[in-house]
Amino acid sequence: MIQDKNYVEPEEDDEEEEEDVSADDIKAILRFLSPFAAPYKGLLAFLGVLILIEAGLNFSFPLVTQYLIDEGLIKKEWRALINSLLFMGIAALAVSVVALIADYVYTRLFTQMTKDIRQHLFDHVQSMSMPFFHTTPTGTVLSRFSGDLVALEAGIVGVVPQFIMPFMEVIYATILMFMFDIWLGLIASLIFPLILWWPRIFARKAFIAAYEKRQTEGRLIGAVQENVAAQPVIKAFGLAPRARIDFSALNTSWFGIARRTNFASALVERTAQTGLYVIHIAVFALGAYWAYTERITVGTIIAFEGVFLSMGYALTNVTQYVPTLAQAAGSIHHLNDLLAVKPTMVDPPDAGELKPFEREVRFETVAFSYPGSSFRTEGLDVAVPKGSFLGIVGPSGSGKSTFLNLLMRFYDPSEGRVTIDGTDIRTVTQESLRRQMAVVFQESFLFNTSIAENIRMAYPTATIEEIHEAARQAEVHDFIISLPAGYDTVVGERGGQLSGGQRQRVAIARALVRNPALLILDEATSALDAATEAKLNDTLRKIAETRTVVSVTHRLGSVVTADRIIVLEHGHIVETGTHSELLRQDGLYATMWSRQQSARRVVAQDDDEEEEE
* Chain residues in the site for ligand ADP (CB under 6 A): 134, 370, 373, 375, 394, 396-402
Which of 425, 390, 395 has its CA nearest to residue 407?
425
Q: Could you tell me which residues are beta bridge partners of residue 385? A: 360
Least distance in angstroms from the C-beta of 394 to ligand ADP: 6
Q: Kindly tell me which of 134 and 235 has the beta carbon lying closer to ligand ADP.
A: 134
Which of 198, 197, 191 has its CA nearest to residue 169?
191
The DSSP code for 164 is: I
Least distance in angstroms from the C-beta of 332 to ligand ADP: 30
Q: Kindly tell me which of 40 and 403 has the beta carbon lying closer to ligand ADP.
A: 403
What's the half-sphere exposure (Cβ side, CA atoms, 13 Å) at 71? 14
In sequence order, which residues have a C-beta less than 8 Å from that of residue 227 and are 6 or more positions away?
A: 234, 243, 247
- Identify whether the C-beta of residue 156 lies closer than 8 Å to the C-beta of residue 110: yes
Which of 519, 574, 573 has its CA nearest to residue 545?
519
Q: Kindly tell me which of 306 and 395 has the beta carbon lying closer to ligand ADP.
A: 395
Q: Kindly tell me which of 168 and 384 has the beta carbon lying closer to ligand ADP.
A: 384
Pairing of strands 437-440, 423-424: unpaired
Least distance in angstroms from the C-beta of 372 to ligand ADP: 7
Least distance in angstroms from the C-beta of 375 to ligand ADP: 4
Where do runs of H (alpha helix) occur along 128-239? Answer: 130-135, 138-143, 149-157, 165-180, 182-188, 191-196, 200-229, 231-236
Where do runs of H (alpha helix) occur along 428-493? Answer: 430-435, 451-456, 464-473, 477-482
- DSSP for 67-119 reads HIIIIIIIS--HHHHHHHHHHHHHHHHHHHHHHHHHHHHHHHHHHHHHHHHHH
Q: Could you tell me which residues are beta bridge partners of residue 391? A: 551, 565
Least distance in angstroms from the C-beta of 404 to ligand ADP: 8
Least distance in angstroms from the C-beta of 567 to ligand ADP: 11
Which of 166, 148, 521 has its CA nearest to residue 334?
148
Least distance in angstroms from the C-beta of 198 to ligand ADP: 54
Q: Kindly tell me which of 400 and 514 has the beta carbon lying closer to ligand ADP.
A: 400
Q: Kindly tell me which of 400 and 426 has the beta carbon lying closer to ligand ADP.
A: 400
Q: Kindly tell me which of 401 and 596 has the beta carbon lying closer to ligand ADP.
A: 401
Contacts 24+ apart (CB under 8 A), 561-566: 561/389, 561/537, 562/389, 562/390, 562/391, 563/388, 563/389, 563/390, 564/384, 564/388, 564/389, 564/390, 564/391, 565/390, 565/391, 565/392, 565/393, 565/589, 566/382, 566/390, 566/391, 566/392, 566/393
Angle between helices 149-157 and 78-127 (to 10 degrees): 160
Q: Kindly tell me which of 215 and 369 has the beta carbon lying closer to ligand ADP.
A: 369
Least distance in angstroms from the C-beta of 474 to ligand ADP: 23
Distance from C-alpha of 362 to C-alpha of 463, rounded to nearest angstrom: 34
Q: Kindly tell me which of 203 and 392 has the beta carbon lying closer to ligand ADP.
A: 392
Least distance in angstroms from the C-beta of 393 to ligand ADP: 9
Least distance in angstroms from the C-beta of 397 to ligand ADP: 4
Q: Could you tell me which residues are beta bridge partners of residue 371? A: none
Distance from C-alpha of 555 to C-alpha of 532, rounded to nearest angstrom: 14
- Identify whether the C-beta of residue 65 lies closer than 8 Å to the C-beta of residue 303: yes
Q: Kindly tell me which of 443 and 488 has the beta carbon lying closer to ligand ADP.
A: 443
Q: What are phi and psi of 22, to 5 degrees?
A: -95, 170
562-to-75, 418, 579 alpha-carbon distances in Å = 108, 21, 7
Least distance in angstroms from the C-beta of 590 to ligand ADP: 19
Least distance in angstroms from the C-beta of 361 to ligand ADP: 18
What's the half-sphere exposure (Cβ side, CA atoms, 13 Å) at 358? 6
Which of 110, 115, 150 has its CA nearest to residue 334?
150
- Identify whether the C-beta of residue 312 lies closer than 8 Å to the C-beta of residue 191: yes
Least distance in angstroms from the C-beta of 437 to ligand ADP: 18
Q: Kindly tell me which of 83 and 401 has the beta carbon lying closer to ligand ADP.
A: 401
Q: Kindly tell me which of 114 and 377 has the beta carbon lying closer to ligand ADP.
A: 377
Q: Kindly tell me which of 216 and 553 has the beta carbon lying closer to ligand ADP.
A: 553
Q: Kindly tell me which of 400 and 456 has the beta carbon lying closer to ligand ADP.
A: 400
- Identify whether the C-beta of residue 262 lies closer than 8 Å to the C-beta of residue 212: no
Pairing of strands 423-424, 360-369: unpaired
Q: Kindly tell me which of 462 and 552 has the beta carbon lying closer to ligand ADP.
A: 552
In angstroms and rounded to an integer, the radius of gyration of the C-alpha atoms of the chain is 36
